[in-house]
């Protein structure tokens, strides 16, 4: 939320429908926060593109301006 690192990974959890927004390097659980999706969209408007990301899917990108690549979390990443 500080804007120090861009959101590069988005998980839409299958078990509870929760969303996780993470930088590319992952995050320490001690830094976790519960925030509204509207607040996150204010930080990064490209998150709107992921509004229909199905439960159990992940979206990743290399850099803040890279396109989102989406896949089921059970599917291994493309090489």
> Rounded to an integer, what distance in angstroms lies between the CA atom of residue 36 and that of residue 21?
11
SS3 42: helix
- What is the distance between the alpha carbons of residues 69 and 77, in angstroms, rounded to a whole number? 10
pTM here is: 0.84
pLDDT by position in tens, the chain (length 79): 566 789 999 999 999 999 999 987 666 777 788 888 888 898 899 999 999 999 999 999 999 999 999 999 987 666 5
């Amino acid at each position: 939320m500080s804007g120090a690192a861009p959101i590069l990974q988005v998980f839409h959890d299958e078990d509870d429908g929760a969303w996780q927004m993470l930088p590319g390097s992952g995050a320490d659980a001690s830094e976790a926060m519960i925030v509204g999706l509207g607040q996150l969209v204010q930080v990064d408007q490209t998150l709107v593109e992921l509004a229909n990301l199905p439960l159990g899917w992940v979206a990743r990108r290399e850099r803040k301006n890279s396109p989102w690549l989406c896949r089921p979390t059970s599917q291994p990443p493309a090489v």
